Amino acid sequence: MASKKDFYQVLGVQRSASADEIKTAYRKLARKFHPDLNPGDKAAETRFKELQHAYDVLSDAENRKLYDQYGDDWQAVKQGGGPPPPGWQPGRGAGAGASAGAGARGGQGFDFSGFDFGSRGPEGSTPGFDIFEELFGGRTGRNTRRRARGADAEAQLEISLEEAHAGGRRSLQMQVAEVCPTCHGTGTVNENVCPTCHGAGQVAQLKTLEVNIPAGVRDGSTVRLAGQGGAGSEGQPAGDLYLHIRLRPHPVFTVHGDDLEVELPIAPWEAVLGGKVDVQKIDGKAALTIPQGAQTGQRLRLRGQGLNKRKGGRGDEYVRLKIVVPKKVSAEEQRLYEDLRKTSQFDPRNSNRH
């Protein structure tokens, strides 16, 4: 978690670094690890969140002073108006949630919803720090519209080729903002800072979503799931969820748009004599007729056996033949090949012959 790491180390600067040095270091690392520049890269995403967290604190002179003095407890000091009591433990509330983002089961989630036009200047300076602004957008009291409607969320979801073809249901877990159950959104309990949310009034909670993956999605598709984002307050509609689809590489098929390609190994005699062999399809098997005189690299088309298209219909499957020969042969096979050598007029280096 971000709160465990030293903010200066995260930014790679000395404790004595000037505000400008901190900004330069942040910008440099942000360019490298920004999630929008590294789509689907979980490690970069985690790094970036740590960076943002560290920069948010250290770029503010007052917060930086508190951090220098109290370390990880600085926020409690700030909100509680005094040093933390002995034995005070940073809770699993706001600070713990800061770098969690959205985790999609079996895929990577990233909650991009912390976003508000104009809340932060282009210089990236934020007075004060509040993780819920990072996660869920909308500075308190400033953008009431976004407060009312649930926040939109974006997440990456990795699916198999079979799921992309047939569609299906997936459950994924997302971090969403809920009203704090301890203080009911007020941020205080008996005039003290709420121990659960540390005064934010909201807590980040894992919510399990059942999403329908429509048949026909592709790598790089974005699926909008209306009303599946963050919950709206006071009867307002929930936000939308934008799922950015990644396709897991398939062990058998390569994908070219709506078409699939598969390599099919065949024996020399199958190539010469032709025959019927089984070939794998995305949804089963098909009997494929190999023509006489088939060649390595020859592509046979199974019309309409590719991936389901978004608006109906299917692509094609291409079967790429590859003639393979046994590495070891029996004495009998050896004899037959020797006979063939004597009998055959075929000269592969002189294609005019055959």
Partner 1 sequence: MTADDFDMDESLTLEVICSTVGARESLVLRLAQQGLLEATADETGQTLLPQRAVVELRRMQRLRRDLGVNFTGAAIIIDLVRRIEALNRELANYRD
Please give the Cα distance from 95 to 198 (Å, whole number). Answer: 9
- Name the DSSP letter for residue 257: T
For residues 203 and 213, which CB has a smaller minimum distance to partner 1 in the complex?
213
Stretch (H or E) spanning 156: strand 153-159
Rounded to a whole number of angstroms, the minimum distance from the CB of residue 39 to partner 1 is 6
Query: DSSP string of 261-329?
Result: EEEEEE-HHHHHH-EEEEEEETTEEEEEEEPTT--TT-EEEETT-SPBPTTS-B--EEEEEEE---SS-
Rounded to a whole number of angstroms, the minimum distance from the CB of residue 242 to partner 1 is 6
For residues 214 and 293, which CB has a smaller minimum distance to partner 1 in the complex?
214
Residue ranges binding partner 1 (CB under 8 A): 27, 30-31, 34, 36-37, 39, 52, 112, 115-118, 120, 122-124, 137-138, 143, 145-146, 149, 152, 154, 214, 216-224, 226, 242, 245, 249, 254-256, 310
For residues 49 and 198, which CB has a smaller minimum distance to partner 1 in the complex?
49
Place of tokens 């949804």: 283
For residues 131 and 183, which CB has a smaller minimum distance to partner 1 in the complex?
131
Place of tokens 């706001």: 94
Among 325, 307, 333, which residue's Cα sits nearest to residue 160?
A: 307
Rounded to a whole number of angstroms, the minimum distance from the CB of residue 109 to partner 1 is 15
Please give the Cα distance from 232 to 51 (Å, whole number). Answer: 29
- Name the DSSP letter for residue 72: G
Rounded to a whole number of angstroms, the minimum distance from the CB of residue 338 to partner 1 is 36
Stretch (H or E) spanning 52: helix 42-58
Give SS3 for 211.
strand
Place of tokens 């429509």: 214
For residues 72 and 316, which CB has a smaller minimum distance to partner 1 in the complex?
316
For residues 73 and 152, which CB has a smaller minimum distance to partner 1 in the complex?
152
Rounded to a whole number of angstroms, the minimum distance from the CB of residue 94 to partner 1 is 21
Rounded to a whole number of angstroms, the minimum distance from the CB of residue 154 to partner 1 is 7
For residues 138 and 199, which CB has a smaller minimum distance to partner 1 in the complex?
138
Rounded to a whole number of angstroms, the minimum distance from the CB of residue 72 to partner 1 is 24
Residues 6+ apart with CB under 8 A from 252: 262, 280
